[in-house]
Every structure is written in structure tokens, then in C-alpha cells.
Amino acid sequence: MAGAISQQYMLLLRPSQASFASDSCIEFRSSSSFCFSGQRSVSGWGSYFRRPVGRSGTFCRSGGSVMRVCCTIAKEVPPAAAHKAAAAPQFEEQQQQEQEQEYGSRVINFAAGPAILPANVIKKAQSELYNWRGSGMSIMEMSHRGKEFLSVIQQAEADLRDLLKIPENYEVLFLQGGATTQFSAIPLNLCTSDDTADFIVTGSWGDKAFKEAQKYCKGKVVWTGKAEKYSSIPNQSELNVTVGAKYLHICANETIHGVEYKDYPSTGNDTLLVADMSSNFCSKPVDVSKFGLIYAGAQKNIGPAGVTIVIVRKDLIGKAQPSTPIMMDYKIHSENRSLYNTPPCFAIYMCGLVFGDLLSQGGLEAIERKNVEKAELLYDAIDASEGFYKCPVEKNVRSLMNVPFTMATPEMEAQFIKEASAQGMVQLKGHRSVGGIRASIYNAMPRAGVERLVAHMKAFQARHI
């Protein structure tokens, strides 16, 4: 026997032919032609192969491709190959990690934020990371005032305007500090200290926005769902908006509790509608003209953490309270085209790639259809479980983005999450303030990811009834 293959090593192989004996799956790269057939023999292949991490498929292709093939593992290799394998212990671990990262070790990420990004966007960024489009620099190295980055931020804004059909009388700002900073910036820019601002509190984020605004204006809660554990959204008839209120604030989608507006409230008179859209931004079409201001942290649905987008009607800019910090003054950022200081360049670049990807999929109408299909698949599984899984949110306001559900006991939920993690489904634990389970299924979550979760739910229930 020339040498036994260890499944823990990458073996450099160049045999003229290798026979396979035991069922398994392998993955390898080749620069020559090869095909599997009949007796599971392969001819003219080389470079290396390894055990994969649970993914498989059957392909036959020629040229410098990576192949993932259901087949068998060779029990014998030529002496030269075995010698090379034995001589490469320092090399093989690094190579294995690189290959797993590139070709199949990705988990199904249900995190609420930072969250899943489109795979093709990440790969695009990876391909441009070292030398952005022939500039000789990474996007992380170039000046934010240079022509290269100016083209990035300008294209990102143009694509966002296209996606949301943002009217010309609205400014688009790329800011920092997260949506939480806007809890302060909004009343500072839109109100005097004597103005009233109304708040509909449908969850934790709406409550935090109200509490922060009280420092800078007369904040008032006109409806709260706290008594019902934030499981609903009020009808228009339930609202008693303050006459003369400067704005009415809503959280369009509560990430923690999983409630989402399907129709936005009417404010009447001159009261502005202001919305925190952090967790459903660009998940569906929105009539921007109904709002005085929309803001969203990027890290839930459109990019990595670090950038916050503010869409504000231009006539509202330039009225900030005198005590407003310079970095919270919309006028400063508008006049400087979001470049008053060094912006989060890489995060803006990534958002731009996401915007382009959403346009290539057909825009937000197409994205909404996909999101509805995914959410229905998951909610149908919950509702069909005969109470084994329970969603606390009223059906007419269930979020398309964040799906919370509970089980009989916290111990059972913990076991469910543990078994899901073992199958590559991660970040399913509910927010620390409410517990339970939460699946965040943002734009970038493929339908196959939701199908995997539903399959796990059904199998888990079958074992515990």
C-alpha cells in the first residue's frame, strides 16, 4: 500500500488514476479535465482534495474549477503523493481554513444585526478589497475627498434614490453614530425646547426614542403597547395626536418584538411623520413623500455596522437648536455632502454594493415579494404546529424581517437553539430582554435558509410530542 489518506490532511495528488472505495464527499480544485462515472474513477486530476464540512453536490466540469462531488475517498495514494502530504503539516491547516471559508463553511445566519449580507456582495467586496477597480488602493485606504471615493458615495446615493424613488426635495445623508444617535439629533433639528413631539411606542426602540427626546423637547406618548408586551400596533382611530405637535415618531419595524407597520399613520395638519426604519429599510417600497424624515442604521438590512442613513425633507434643515452638537446638525452634513469629517467609507461602499444588488433583482417590489414568501413559510410552520411553537404578535402586524416565537419551556428553547447551531443555523436566541427564539430573515436571507429552519422545527417537534 503506497500510503493511507488521512481525512485530516490536504493531500497533493497527481495520479493518472485513483480508485475510490468508501462512500463520502470530497471537494477539490483542478486545472485539468475530469469526470466521475461508473466505478467512481477519476483521471487526470490534481492539486489537492479534502473532506468538506457537510455540503455536497455532483458535477462534471473541465478547467480551473472548484468541484464539490458526492463520491468516495481513496484508500491508497502513490508514494510521492503520500510523501508530499506528510511533508505539509504546516501548510495544510492554513489551506483548509482558506478553502472552507471560500467554498462552503458559511452558516445560516439569523442574527438581528449585524446581520447576513448577500453572498455575491461579500464576494464582490472581497475581489476589490486589495486593489479597488485598478486604483492601486483598497477602499479602506483612499481619501474620502478623492475622486475614487466620491464616485462610491455618489453612486450609493443615486442607487438609493432609485430604489426608494426619493423626491428631489429630500436630502440623503450618510452619518455615523447608529440610529440611537438620531434619537437625540431628530428633536434637536426639528424642535425647539418648547415644542411637543408625539410618540407611538410599539416596542423597545420606540420607547428609547421617546425617552431620549424628552431631554430636548416635550415628548409625549400617544399610544403604547407595553401592557400587551408589544404585540400589536394601533389603528388610526386609537391615536390622539397632539394638535400642533412638531412630529409623530414611529418605529416602522420593532426588531426585538417583531411587530411591523403595514400602513403608516396619518398625522393631519402640519405634524411631520418621522420613522425609524432600521430593520426593514429597503425591504419593501415606501412612499417617502409621506414622511418628514426617515432614518435607519445599516447593519440590519443593507450593510455592515458603521453608517446611518437619514432621508430628510430639505425645508426642515437649518433649524437646529443652538446647543446642537456640530456632528448632529443636519445642515452641516447637507452642506458638506456627508463629508464634513471622515465618513465610514467602507460601510458606505458596502451599502452601495447592496443597493446595486437590490436594483439588479428588480427593485423593492421584487424584494418585497421574496420577503413575503419567506415570512409566510415560517409563520405557516409556527401556526401549523398546534401550539408547539407560538408567535406572540398579532397576525396582521407580524414582521417580515424579525420572527419571534416561543416554546413550552426555556429549557426546550435552549435545546432547539443548540441543535439548530449544530446544523449550521446560528443566532436564533431571542433578545436578552424578552427571551424565546427569534429568526431574522432580512433581504439577504435565502429562501433555502428559511426552509432549513422550518425542516428543523418540524423534526424537533416530532421528537418532543
Look at residue 268 in the predicted model and tell me its pLDDT: 79
Note if 45 is an active site residue.
Answer: no
SS3 417: helix
H or E segment to which residue 120 belongs: helix 119-128
SS3 389: coil
Look at residue 411 in the predicted model and tell me its pLDDT: 97
Q: Which residues contact 132 (CB under 8 A, 6 or more apart)?
A: 138, 139, 142, 148
In the chain, the amino acid numbered 79 is P
| Euclidean distance between CA atoms 134 and 188, whole angstroms | 43
Beta strands in 233-361 (DSSP E): 247-251, 253-254, 259-260, 272-276, 293-297, 308-313
Look at residue 53 in the predicted model and tell me its pLDDT: 34
Task: Count Cα neighbours of 225 within 13 Å in the Cβ-side half-sphere.
Answer: 25
| Euclidean distance between CA atoms 435 and 442, whole angstroms | 20
Note if 300 is an active site residue.
Answer: yes
SS3 235: coil
Q: Which of 84, 218, 246, 300 is catalytic?
A: 300
Look at residue 62 in the predicted model and tell me its pLDDT: 34
pTM of the predicted model, to two decimals? 0.79
Q: Which of 276, 357, 374, 429 is catalytic?
A: 276
Look at residue 104 in the predicted model and tell me its pLDDT: 64
Domains of the chain: 17-103 (no CATH), 124-360 (3.40.640.10), 363-463 (3.90.1150.10)
Q: Which of 205, 223, 284, 374 is catalytic?
A: 205
Would you say the C-alpha torsion 9, 13, 19, 24 has a positive or negative sign?
positive
What does the pLDDT profile of the chain (465 residues) look like in tens digits?
443 333 332 333 333 333 333 333 333 333 333 333 333 333 333 333 333 333 333 333 333 333 333 333 333 334 444 444 444 444 445 444 543 444 368 999 999 999 999 999 999 999 999 999 999 999 999 999 999 999 999 999 999 999 999 999 999 999 999 999 999 999 999 999 999 999 999 999 999 999 999 999 999 999 999 999 999 999 999 998 999 999 999 999 999 999 999 999 999 779 999 999 999 999 999 999 999 999 999 999 999 999 999 999 999 999 999 999 999 999 999 999 999 999 999 999 999 999 999 999 999 999 999 999 999 999 999 999 999 999 999 999 999 999 999 999 999 999 999 999 999 999 999 999 899 999 999 999 999 999 999 999 999 999 998
